Each structure stands twice: as structure tokens, then as C-alpha cells.
Amino acid sequence: MRFAYFTYLLAAFVFLKSFALAFEIEDNKYYEVEKNEQILRIISTADIEAFEPIILAFQKEFQTIAIDYVVASSSQTMEAIYNENGKFDLVISSAMDLQTKLANDGLAQTYKSLETEKLPIWAQWRNQVYGFTHEPAVMVISKKEYGNLPLPKTRDQFVELLRRNSEKFIGRIGTYDVSQSGLGYLFATQDSRNTDSFWRLIEMIGRLDVELYCCSGSMIEDVSSGRLVLAYNVLGSYAENSLKKFPGLKIISFDDFSTIMMRTALIPMAAKRPDLSGKMIDFLLQLHSKPDLVALSGLQPITRHNLLDDKRTRPIRLGPGLLVFLDKLRKENFLRNWESSISQE
């Protein structure tokens, strides 16, 4: 047993060492099986805590498939696949635009099945990129630190709240660093499309010394600890899951609009086991029939109607429109304006 464990550690070291200079990983976990006949290698932006229930349920159904699960940020996931030809069988990411670019640039394999045929047309692209969750961007506040201030219902009201109570919020607001986070960049560009208040909001939180983060989990932890009063544009799925651990949190969804992201999966061209990837994609597309698993993971599945029921929702749709803000000059211009507004220089 000790020899087997040592062998696994050596294999894991060699596997990760090959990427040491290529991209940064946040976490890695190997899910072995008794008969380790097949290995599915996944790179994902989803935290282990959120995705582990899905992996364990998958392995109950497919008992000979071991899973090597690597967690990386959306930008580093893109680096691994786009620039480094990383040897992964499946890419799971919250950055829909970057996934679309991988497919558009010929780095994704085509996959079709009975399950993919059932997806709404707006939840898949070219039989290569498949959405399997719908997750809103929300604001999270610390009820204790926020106190009795009125809760804003729109982004205009949010800007006015910050203006009137600036001393309370100096250094105590968190949001994504959009120059580093692919999901943060996606949310920011969608906000800029949906409201004229976007740049006023960025300028306001910039004046209040906003703290910039790589990911939702870190923001939520700092709100729960009281270090931050609030965090803007965090993933609703992570926020909902955090309520179980941190009851002092409150989730705010604005009435003017709610941006909805779809977590997506694709099979990269370099995949060695696309057959195993297909099994996982089909499993993910069946989440709507597994309510217990949805409750454990906190990842809400896609149905034909759930993005259309609420008129406030602004679902980000898969397709070439997502490539607009990835144009080199347009992205540079957006980031330059964002950095200028956020730094107040």
C-alpha cells in the first residue's frame, strides 16, 4: 500500500512538473478507483469543494474511471490549453468567451450524443462547447458590517449608496481583478453592455480603494470574516453554498438586470480519452434529473426554461458574439479604461 501511494505521488509529481513553467494551478486531487483501468484528466475552474460531489457520483456510475482533477483560474486554464497544448481530456470553465475562442480557433473536438441533442440551442455551440449550469453574478454583503443601510435595488442606487456612505466602504469592497480573471473580465464586459452605470460604478469603487481578487471564493471568505463589507459580481452558486457555513452573509440580486453565466465543458484536441470526456459531458447534462446532487454541489443545471422565466435575467449566450471583447485591440482598450477608472490616476 505504501509503495502504491509512493508510486502515485511520483506520477502526480511528474505530471504536474511538466506544467511547472507553463501555467499556475490552484489545486489538484486524484480520485482513484479499485480497478484503475482508465484515467480522465480534467482541468477546471470549479473549486474541488463544489465539484467533488459530481465526481464521486460519476464514479459510482463508472467504477473503473479514475479522475485527475486540476483546478486553475480561467485565464490559466486558457493558457494551459491554448498556448501549452496541455494533455487534458476535458476543460470545464466559467469563462464562456474563452471556451468559445478555443472552439473557434480549432482547439476543441466535436461531440454528439443523445444528451447533447436535448440541450437548448442557446446552451451549446457547434457541437463543441456545452453549457451545463446557469449561475448568476450577485453581490454578497456581511449583514453585521453592512448594518441598517438601505439595500440597493439597482446599480444606480448602489452607486448613490456608496457616494453617501463613502467612509463606511473605504477599503472594504471587493470585486474581480478583470486584468487577471477571465470570468471577471466576462462579467465586466457584459455589465458594460447592459448598463450605462457601469463606468460610474467602477470609478466609485476605485475612489473607495476597492480590493481586487482572482476568484469568488476568496471574496466571499473576506466578506464572511468582516474584512469586507461587500463583494460585487461574485458567483451566485458559490454564494449560495457559503450561506451554509456563513449565515451572516446576505445575497443581493439587482432588479435592473442579473447577468447569468453558463459553466461550460469542451473536449480539447489534445485529449487522449475523448470517450471518457463524453461520458462526463453526458453526466453533467443530466444534472437536472439529480436534485440531490444539485443540492450538494450548489451548481444549478440548465433546463429549457430556467433562463427565460425571470425578465430581469441577462443570460450570456454561447456563440461568436462572445469573441467581440476578446479582439486584441478592443480588449486592450477596455482594460486600459478599466484600470484608469479603478486606479483613479
Q: Report which secondary-structure segment, H or E, holds 218.
A: helix 216-225
Residues 235 and 276 in one domain: no
On whether residue 317 sits in a domain, the answer given is no
Position 336: which residue type? R
Residues 256 and 266 in one domain: no
On whether residue 38 sits in a domain, the answer given is yes
Residues 108 and 33 in one domain: yes
Residue 14: the pLDDT is: 42
Residue 345: the pLDDT is: 52
For the chain, what's the residue count?
Answer: 345
Residue 209: the pLDDT is: 97
On whether residue 114 sits in a domain, the answer given is yes
Residue 309: the pLDDT is: 59
* CATH number for position 67: 3.40.190.10
Please state, in angstroms and rounded to a whole number, the distance separating the CA atoms of residues 131 and 103. 13
Burial category of 10 from C-beta neighbours within 10 Å (exposed 0-12, middle 13-18, buried 19 and up): exposed
Q: Which of 182, 318, 324 is nearest to 262 (CA)?
A: 318
Residues 188 and 75 in one domain: no
Residue 103: the pLDDT is: 97
Residues 142 and 287 in one domain: no
Residues 94 and 149 in one domain: no
Position 327: which residue type? D
Residues 148 and 221 in one domain: yes
Residues 100 and 15 in one domain: yes
Residue 156: the pLDDT is: 96
Residues 7 and 125 in one domain: yes
Tens-digit pLDDT profile for the chain (345 aa)? 333 444 444 444 444 444 444 778 999 999 999 876 899 999 999 999 999 999 999 999 999 999 999 999 999 999 999 999 889 999 999 999 999 999 999 999 999 999 999 998 889 999 999 999 999 999 999 999 999 999 999 999 999 999 999 999 999 999 999 999 999 999 999 999 999 899 999 999 999 999 999 989 999 999 999 999 999 999 999 999 898 889 999 999 999 999 999 999 999 999 999 999 999 999 999 999 999 999 888 898 987 665 555 667 788 989 999 999 999 999 999 999 999 999 865
On whether residue 288 sits in a domain, the answer given is yes
Residues 232 and 157 in one domain: yes
Residues 141 and 251 in one domain: yes
- Domain range for residue 182? 136-260+325-343
Q: How many domains does the chain have?
A: 2
Please state, in angstroms and rounded to a whole number, the distance separating the CA atoms of residues 53 and 57. 6
On whether residue 315 sits in a domain, the answer given is no
On whether residue 287 sits in a domain, the answer given is yes
Residue given cell 443523445 in the structure block: 114
Q: Which of 61, 64, 6 is nearest to 36 (CA)?
A: 64
On whether residue 28 sits in a domain, the answer given is yes
